[in-house]
């Protein structure tokens, strides 16, 4: 990628211990960004950060649960003390609970929204408070193509992602006068632990690519599942100077699985 102009900036990435968050942390670090990775799984996060440090990257691990607004406020204060002013925020932390609605539990519903929606709110609110006086910043929320297309057995996930997508657009509108851009990246099926956990057997990837009529799910026109780096590349574009006039945009990275809906 050409002139991103993000070298030397400070980024906060939530859900940095695995999957898309881990890849976003690496991609930013590779482009000379000081990255503060946040995750509630301290052990896994430390391992990722240690590996990146060994490669010479400027990355730091911060343990916090995005569901807890006080913990979020505290960790952001620590990040600014240690790493400097946050220029970039990437909200990746998310969970998936699946099941038919009639037997879906209160706990699974509440847990899904507490991470996927409230978590995005807590972190975005705390970071935007700091960005506003500085009159600059870029925020990206990693949502899902399920935010726009109904999915069987994924009601809580789809609804929580739809909420965080619209929240991010509203945030973008409010922060626009302060020269802060907010955008969304909406992946489809991506090769992460969250995805493979849904597969019944080693043929899971092929089934996702082919689609299934019973679940009203189209296949993937590009005939492949995304890699985490495909999502990270979209994030890099949206936090960089290459997208300096882009805000409130929802960039779908799903190989055409939702036919651009």
Catalytic residues: 157
Cα 52 from Cα 62, distance rounded (Å): 15
Report residue 253: phi and psi, to 5°: -125, 75
For 17, 40, 155, 240, the CA distances from 87, given in Å and listed in that order, are: 21, 22, 34, 11
Closest by alpha carbon to 248, among 197, 195, 175?
175
Placement of tokens 């006080």 in the chain: 70
Cα 114 from Cα 122, distance rounded (Å): 10
């Amino acid at each position: 990628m050409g002139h991103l102009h993000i070298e030397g900036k400070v980024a906060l990435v939530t859900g940095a211990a695995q999957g898309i968050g881990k890849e976003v942390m690496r991609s930013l670090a590779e482009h000379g960004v000081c990255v503060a990775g946040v995750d509630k799984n301290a052990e896994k996060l430390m391992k990722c950060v240690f590996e990146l440090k060994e490669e010479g990257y400027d990355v730091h691990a911060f343990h916090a649960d995005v569901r807890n607004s006080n913990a979020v406020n505290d960790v952001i204060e620590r990040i600014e003390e240690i790493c400097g002013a946050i220029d970039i925020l990437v909200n990746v932390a998310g969970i998936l609970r699946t099941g038919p609605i009639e037997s879906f539990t209160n706990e699974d519903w509440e847990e899904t929204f507490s991470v996927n929606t409230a978590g995005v709110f807590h972190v975005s609110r705390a970071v935007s408070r700091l960005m506003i006086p500085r009159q600059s910043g870029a925020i990206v929320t990693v949502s899902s193509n399920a935010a726009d297309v109904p999915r069987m057995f994924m009601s809580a996930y789809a609804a929580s992602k739809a909420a965080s997508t619209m929240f991010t657009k509203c945030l973008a509108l409010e922060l626009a006068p302060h020269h802060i851009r907010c955008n969304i990246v909406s992946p489809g099926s991506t090769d992460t632990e969250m995805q493979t956990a849904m597969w019944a057997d080693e043929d899971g990837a092929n089934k996702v690519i082919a689609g299934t009529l019973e679940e009203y799910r189209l296949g993937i026109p590009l005939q492949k599942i995304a890699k985490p780096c495909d999502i990270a590349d979209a994030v890099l574009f949206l936090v960089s100077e290459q997208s300096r006039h882009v805000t409130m945009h929802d960039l779908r990275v799903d190989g055409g699985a939702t036919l651009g809906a």
